Copies of this chain bind each other. A is one copy, B any other.
Amino acid sequence: MQHTEKHLKSSALITDIVIGMSDGLTVPFALAAGLSGAVQSNSIVITAGIAEIVAGSIAMGLGGYLAGKTEQEHYATELKREYEEVVEKPEVEKHEVREVLAEFGISKNLQNMVADELATNKDQWVRFMMKYELGLDEPDANRARNSAANIGISYIVGGLIPLTAYFFTDTPHQGLMVSAILTVICLFVFGYFKAKVTGQAPLGGAIKVTLIGIAAAGAAYLVAKTFNHIF
């Protein structure tokens, strides 16, 4: 059991890191690409990129953390209500159990037997209603907090990769060339692992993540360049 838990924890961490990094690569890369077609100095590209990374990681990390808390509160509220309902209106709740089973063509007789048996244990009855009537699994409090922090930090690391190119080059144009090569390689690698840890086909996933990054960067470049010509 202890071994299994350790295994689970480490792969949850890897999932968070891979998701955060592959997402973090996309928007900062595209923003830097967009600005490269419109401004003359690498330091503006870097400043904007860093501002985006800070903003994006806080929106993602804090947003994810608060969403996790909301989910927990929602679960706790519904759990309390279900416990009240099985005491106050057991017949209504038994009827709901029967309805869940009726959906799969289970006979009236069998529906009644399952509902009656569930009703002998309040905890299991409530857990059945939470999962099959409401579709709610008990959220893991620590997991939500850690996950948000891990994804936020990985977003920062992922976002810094496309920006490094602008540190070591002299013009935004040169920066963009190096950044594009570096980022496309990283998008493919992290897209591959993102698909692997989220249970998709790795090669297809790698291509998808890479194409999204290229499309976003290409569009940002064209729009920023056009906009800069007009104004």
Contacts and interface: CB of A to CB of B under 8 A. Distances in A.
Contacts of A90: none
Interface size class on chain A is 35 or more
Interface stretch (A7-15, A32-40, A79-87, A139-147): A32-40
Contacts of A110: 110, 113-114, 117
B59 A27 contact: yes
A43 to B, nearest CB: 6
A128 interface: yes
A158 to B, nearest CB: 12
Interface in A20-60: 23, 26-27, 30-31, 33-35, 38-39, 43-44, 46-48, 50-52, 54-56, 58-59
A55 B216 contact: yes
Nearest to A128: B104
Contacts of A30: 51, 54-55, 58-59
A228 B48 CA distance: 10
B219 A58 contact: yes
A215 B31 CA distance: 21
Specify how many copies of this chain sit in the oligomer: 2
A178 interface: no
Contact of A27 (B48, B52, B113): B52
Given A30-B55, A30-B58, A35-B48, 5 more contacts: A31-B48, A34-B52, A51-B220, A55-B217, A59-B212
29 contacts: A26-B59, A27-B27, A27-B55, A33-B51, A35-B47, A35-B48, A44-B48, A48-B48, A50-B223, A50-B224, A50-B227, A51-B220, A52-B52, A54-B220, A54-B224, A58-B212, A58-B219, A59-B216, A62-B212, A63-B212, A70-B205, A70-B208, A104-B124, A104-B128, A105-B117, A105-B118, A110-B110, A110-B117, A113-B113
5 nearest A-B residue pairs (beta carbon): A34-B51, A30-B55, A58-B216, A51-B224, A51-B220
Interface of A: 23, 26-27, 30-31, 33-35, 38-39, 43-44, 46-48, 50-52, 54-56, 58-59, 62-63, 66, 70, 74, 101, 104-107, 110, 113-114, 117-118, 121, 124-125, 127-128, 132, 199-200, 205, 208, 212-213, 215-217, 219-221, 223-224, 227-228, 231
